[in-house]
A and B are shown apart, each in its own frame.
Chain A
């Protein structure tokens, strides 16, 4: 009797953790582009800052908010918030897609509760600092790249660990709400999996 829920849970887990690597391989067909950092010169941004400087009534105020350091800082902030945006991983940044970016759906959106469970469960354990530290460091370093979306696959590993931990925190010995959720969510996960494969398949 318990084999059926475990079987279904197995399919659900497989669909969740297989999606991103498959999509990554599909998009990798043209190879990884060269790394571009946020420190590369941006002519348009520089010109915009110069125009804005003249609007301020005094130089200190102008320099505080309109300066060349602002260009890489703003890019860094933009990349950082994109990397910690849940919509990045579950909805391909929808409804605010990144112009010119990959905008890949990395995990089916129905798996989100297990990531939350996993984060919460792991945060109570002292030996998870390495995992969270790796995740945080990866995000901070990736934010230095203009094309972070091409290299963010490094986040796959810690995120999958968190997801699996979330699944593990479900009571295994008795059938409950979480199993019912998996049963209901499974078709959605399957549909999302197929949709993303079709959308990303090179034509």
Chain B
């Protein structure tokens, strides 16, 4: 049985590598601005020891005043000298985390099922399903911090359970969980709640003399690692994401009945009532089959077209697995941890107003996968005859093949065609044209009214970070975490990123670059612009136009 389980684990890892590595860096085509910003921040740290604003080794990265979590960015830094600054490199930590999650989950389930035969089935089936999980694959192919955070979080939990038998490992568990805390925003809530869960559940073991000093050392080290984060915990920068994404203030909450006044308004439109209802609705949405197996995430970069977070065929197993988990009290510690993760993972996401955010609720993929595996194992055990088992195996095999093909259909074919604009496709091509087809003595203006491409331009031009820090100012470094003012005008050598001022800009010989709205065919003909190149999306529509002004023609027209 152990050999079969390891075989399935290896198969899962191979499938995981195939589904995540195929066209890594190329699909999704395009590099989203956050991905480019993280990549360039890592490049800037590598070259200068400072981020793009000149702060040495930030605790959180200011970026677009959204203060990105630091762990992922620092993970990219050592990869750049090996693989260069590219979309592949910035997505590589996600890929590696995604693959490493598979054996960690396998070992964790093994540990929690105490080496029972059923445990081998559960661990191997869970990692097999996770290797094909659309939810997990999406974040394993793109630059998302949540994926790295999930790996670190699971590793911390695994080390904790090991530490219950070998107390020294409690120290490592504390350290790893402390690193998970700044890895992603959701973990800021999930890790403390998990620590509380372990403290309550295992207080008798942790308070034993054999364990206490190691537990306390682990806690102390965790505190020391978290200290830099705590020093900025109350700054507007650290709280930026919370403030922009939290459930709306009372007056903006859904469900407010208009036309009421006085006592009826206070009672029926009570802020507390509406917020509680909103939170519970958002929370329940994360356990709802409708979202997990059909709708998925509505965000174009958090989902694949025509595919939800799980495959539809897994729906009945989810419901059955849910029932089994509640009914079977003899499952052991795996039951307790799965229940905990199932009901606690949605909390950080449910505190934000987005209806179903797969990024913020990524840890939920683990307990749901375990539920589905539980159900499949239960059904397998009910198939008594070898003919029925053979048939069951054949059906399962067909479903796996179907799932692989469905992934290819949605993640590669449809995603590339329909979501290219959402992934900011085209900026690499724009920079290539700038490098090859433009006069290097002439300035360039890139319109940034509808988007913020400066991170992509920095990334693809591999612009000197030291020069960028000198030539661009946003806020004094002493106000890095407190002042949320943004300068949207950027200077990258001869490239200026700002809105096009038509009258003034047409009078200067320079290149104007913008999207299909900023530089339309009418503007090209009315302003005597010379079209240098058009960058198109995979669906054939125009992404960007690169044009050259002709002041001599414009002034002749005016005369």
> CB within 8 Å of B: which residues of A?
52, 55-57, 61, 64-65, 77-78, 81-82, 84-88, 90-91, 94-96, 109, 120, 123, 188, 191-192, 194-195, 198-199
Contact = CB atoms under 8 A, between A and B. Distances in A.
A87 B273 contact: no
Given A81-B289, A95-B282, A95-B355, A199 B257 contact: yes
Interface in B372-414: 405-406, 408-409, 413-414
10 shortest A-B CB distances, which residue pairs?
A95-B355, A81-B290, A85-B290, A91-B281, A81-B294, A94-B281, A65-B409, A85-B288, A96-B355, A195-B268
Per DSSP, chain A at the interface is: helix
B239 interface: no
Interface in B95-145: none
Interface string B261-304: 00000011010010011101110110111110111001000000
Contact of B284 (A61, A87, A198): A87
Contacts of B326: 120
A191 B355 contact: no
Given A61-B409, A81-B289, 13 more contacts: A55-B414, A56-B413, A65-B306, A78-B294, A81-B293, A81-B294, A86-B287, A90-B284, A94-B254, A94-B281, A95-B254, A95-B278, A195-B268
Residue among A82, A91, A120, A123 with the highest chain B CB neighbour number at 10 A: A91
A64 B405 contact: yes
Nearest to A86: B284
Per DSSP, chain B at the interface is: helix
Interface string B228-271: 00000000000000000000000000110100000000011010
B67 interface: no
Contacts of B288: 81, 85-87
Residue among B287, B294, B417 with the highest chain A CB neighbour number at 10 A: B294
A144 to B, nearest CB: 16
A82 B409 contact: no
A96 B277 contact: no
A191 B413 contact: no
B277 A109 contact: yes
B202 interface: no
A69 to B, nearest CB: 14
B257 A96 contact: no
A52 B268 CA distance: 48
Contact of B273 (A61, A65, A81, A191): A191
B315 interface: yes
11 contacts: A55-B413, A65-B306, A81-B293, A84-B290, A85-B288, A86-B284, A91-B281, A95-B355, A95-B356, A194-B267, A194-B268
Contacts of B290: 81-82, 84-85, 87-88, 96
